[in-house]
Chains A and B, each alone.
Chain A
């Protein structure tokens, strides 16, 4: 997933602004690049890979309060390396940043943090698992049992997570191709978390339960020069099946799609470009621009033809690099809930 995060990472550091978007396609500067047929080693691979340029631990959750009110939650830690490898102290080339958000039916809260590697302010360790930046943390004895916390000035949350299914590998055993030219990343998920805990909102604390989805992805040169943005969907259907699908929009209007169908027991089917289809149905004015907040999503092979609608169309992340991310609900051939992320809508 999370081709989205690439823009943060690749546009990060500030220098990249000056070079422009075209700079993305340049060489990988001594960074390792993902190779087909990967074999992962856990728990080590839950930890950071400093020889790759970018990496993230990306968690989204669909939640519900006792009164039935739906909520959404995001917790993301990004790692972006200025150079491969790591060093002690301020000399470390590893840069960390994180986003946290909570979406309610009529409000959206988002905030971000930044940190340097090497000082202990932020980092990830594989065993026992611990990903943190400042006081924000996702930690536990292993990836199956986690506690999660983050806060901003107006909101915060403290949650516990328990995995009820196996890890899921996207693309070719976790080698996920991102363009026709072959750019790729390593990509796996844990989409089977039960989550519960407390949201701290301006009106007071709210106890919630729900399901969460963790994405792990790392790469060095993931985007094609001609790609202008992306739309990413993680959908959980009522029957227990799940669908991860993304489309990378080309500047010429065409797109590149990939998707993974996930059975309730964790069995997967990966689909090549074109199998997954997503079309905007209606646009909403958000933060001074038009963003599609209702989509028609299809995966013909599994009979999926659904309407995906934002729970709160104002789920705009007004951060250093802004984007849209929020919970959705699904109607049509299947029903359920999920998360949607959209970038590149200027």
Chain B
């Protein structure tokens, strides 16, 4: 019996391959985007973990210089000889690869890279020396040192013995000292031994995972959005299949199949299909992730300095979650239908209710739900805080708006019906209203995709406009130079003074402001700063006060995180509190910054040496020659403004390539949803069209009207998507950005972009409607006649 029933149930899909395709493709698309995004996140997180293990960051307390600079080997030996169990680490960059040198003998046993030496050949590791890195990084490294491939090493990092790395970097100092978790009984105080060094507890090391969380949350939100859109397709495919099988179910039950048994069989059937669709989706998702990952990797490296592997691994964490969410989503979509089957009286009419029977009650429920969701969104916006609240606002607002769509569209259509001059168009508008319930899911999907497009495009373009301005302001000096030591710096400064080249010293030190890590900058206040820096808010004479050491400038990130604004006092050193004279926008920078005058900085931190400058010149190339030829500055120690700007812009553009790609995919999914709805509706509509045909409307005309209807729906969705999208953009710019990155962006409008998007949407709708319309136009007359001959 099982077999017979199953064959009977499955025969439906054989007779309706398009429905099967819609179901599987919808689920596959939904799962694909979700799984793809999860795969990217999983890969990135794995890379962060590998990096944390490789660098030992967060795992061990560290001893670091108080005032920038580095640690001498004498300091290291002095600490060891006093009983401090520390292990030296040198950290530098070579060929764009982070080189990490450590001492395998003194490093703590659980130090990630320490295990490299324990599994390898220590003698060869020390002399003549080896570097360990993964295969990808090894290709970037140009060195005569032997490179051992080890996939466990975090991407972008090569590790070696401290002596070997010092040799490659041409240095003889140390970057930091790892403190063993277990120390001997008696040790003198750190400050007496090495006054220039300080202890940095493990948990205060900046955690790259935390920094990048917001980026991954963004991706996840997009994944969920796409999943929701894909699930619309699944929902409508399942709805249709169950609707059409009411007759079959009645027949089977009349033949004696128990209801419970039938429902379980249908459940199994759905589960099998769900697994199949989700499986396809995971394969697709893997492909999507593999294509997007390199861009994500570049973004993360540029934005946060986080290295992520460019190759994707098939991790259980993401494919299992993809499979689970797909199956659960399908079950949720099928649940209502199975309930209906359960409730259906045995002798009820098998007549399909089609899609037209939506009662006013459903509409009322939908309206109430929409209003409720929008009110919740407003409540979160008003009362919530934090990134999650931001995303809650976003989600509630979008779903509420989607639910409101049919409610808003119906009166428009009703008005058009009244306004129509000819009976033909009165029928058209009436029929369009009739279609609304059937198409509303597809329309909601289109609305979501369009609003997301408008919102994200507005954010990206606003961001880019602001960002380019900002780069021009902040990267005003034409050249940036790094001196090898203080004496070198002094000679550069002297020569520049002779050449009459304005020098902008960049003095910096890490400090803590209200328990938040921040960078303190000392600047020489001059026209470059006065003319170029645009403040978000400032006292009128902010720069004068900063120059006089009477005020500071805080960047927006710091001000928002610490809850401070212009006029508030900020403590920048023990016993030194100054009012904030201005708050400056500092886009793309994850760190807090406080800017003070050079004189005050030198008083507070006399031990910080000046090694970096900005130089103003109208002849950058000429000045570069002077620096390299006469002053012995290495070419690699000079960066010109255009290079920095180009790099920053590249990082920026990469960031949004990813979101743009996801956007396009969402729109494609929405278009597909529309196609599927129209195709499935087409069959059901034959009885509704037959009378119109019988009244003399040609099949060709009917097809044309079908196309027109798609355009009307798409246009209405576009119109409604515009305010929703702009609302979304506002939430992104003013809520999500502030929570995620710490800065708020001004919002600009881009009408041309919206018009173009509207045209795309209408084209997508026409494309989606073309085939169903063509099929309707080709409906054989006898199929139309049959409608009158019998009740199907």
Chain A residues at the B interface, C-beta cutoff of 8 Å: 13-15, 18, 82-83, 89-91, 93, 95, 97, 111, 114-116, 119-121, 132, 134-135, 151-156, 200
Contact = CB atoms under 8 A, between A and B. Distances in A.
B123 A15 contact: yes
Interface string B118-131: 10111110110000
B123 A116 contact: no
A115 B80 contact: yes
Given A89-B73, A90-B161, A135-B81, 18 more contacts: A14-B117, A14-B121, A15-B123, A82-B126, A89-B172, A90-B103, A93-B127, A97-B105, A115-B80, A115-B106, A121-B76, A134-B83, A134-B85, A151-B83, A151-B184, A153-B183, A200-B185, A200-B186
B212 interface: no
A119 B122 contact: no
Contacts of B164: 90
Contact of A121 (B80, B161, B186): B80
A153 B77 contact: no
A32 B164 CA distance: 27
B47 interface: no
A116 B103 contact: yes
B72 to A, nearest CB: 11
Interface string B90-107: 000000000000010110
A120 B162 contact: no
A150 to B, nearest CB: 9
Contacts of B185: 151-156, 200
B189 interface: no
A82 B183 CA distance: 28
B186 A151 contact: yes
Q: Which of B103, B127, B184, B185 has the most CB of A within 10 A?
A: B184
A14 B85 CA distance: 21
B582 to A, nearest CB: 48
A328 B120 CA distance: 40
Interface residues of B, number: 32
A68 to B, nearest CB: 26
B409 to A, nearest CB: 73
A96 to B, nearest CB: 9
A13 B122 contact: yes
19 contacts: A14-B120, A14-B122, A82-B126, A89-B172, A91-B163, A93-B126, A93-B127, A116-B103, A119-B73, A119-B77, A121-B76, A134-B83, A135-B80, A135-B82, A151-B83, A152-B185, A153-B182, A156-B186, A200-B185
B80 A18 contact: no
Nearest to B126: A82
Given A82-B126, A115-B106, A90 B166 contact: yes
A135 B85 CA distance: 10
Contacts of A111: 184
Nearest to B161: A90
Contacts of A82: 122-123, 126-127
Given A13-B123, A18-B121, A114 B81 contact: no
Interface string B178-193: 0000111110000000
Given A90-B163, A156-B186, A83 B105 contact: no
Given A95-B105, A134-B83, A135-B83, A120 B77 contact: yes
A79 to B, nearest CB: 13
A95 B123 CA distance: 11
Nearest to A14: B122
Nearest to B163: A90
A14 B172 contact: no
Contacts of B105: 95, 97, 114-116
Closest 9 CB pairs of A and B: A90-B163, A13-B122, A135-B83, A114-B105, A15-B121, A120-B77, A151-B184, A134-B80, A14-B122
A61 B203 CA distance: 43
A115 B120 CA distance: 19
A120 B76 CA distance: 10
Contacts of A114: 105-106
A179 B126 CA distance: 32
Contacts of A15: 121-124
B118 A14 contact: yes
Contacts of B81: 120-121, 132, 134-135
Nearest to A87: B127
Contacts of B83: 134-135, 151
B471 to A, nearest CB: 42
Nearest to B122: A13
Nearest to A82: B123
A90 B87 CA distance: 13
A254 to B, nearest CB: 33
B286 to A, nearest CB: 38
Among A95, A116, A132, A154, chain B packs the most CB atoms within 10 A around the CB of: A116
B498 to A, nearest CB: 39
A190 B338 CA distance: 93
A132 B80 CA distance: 11
Contacts of B126: 82, 90, 93
Contacts of B74: 120
Contacts of B117: 14
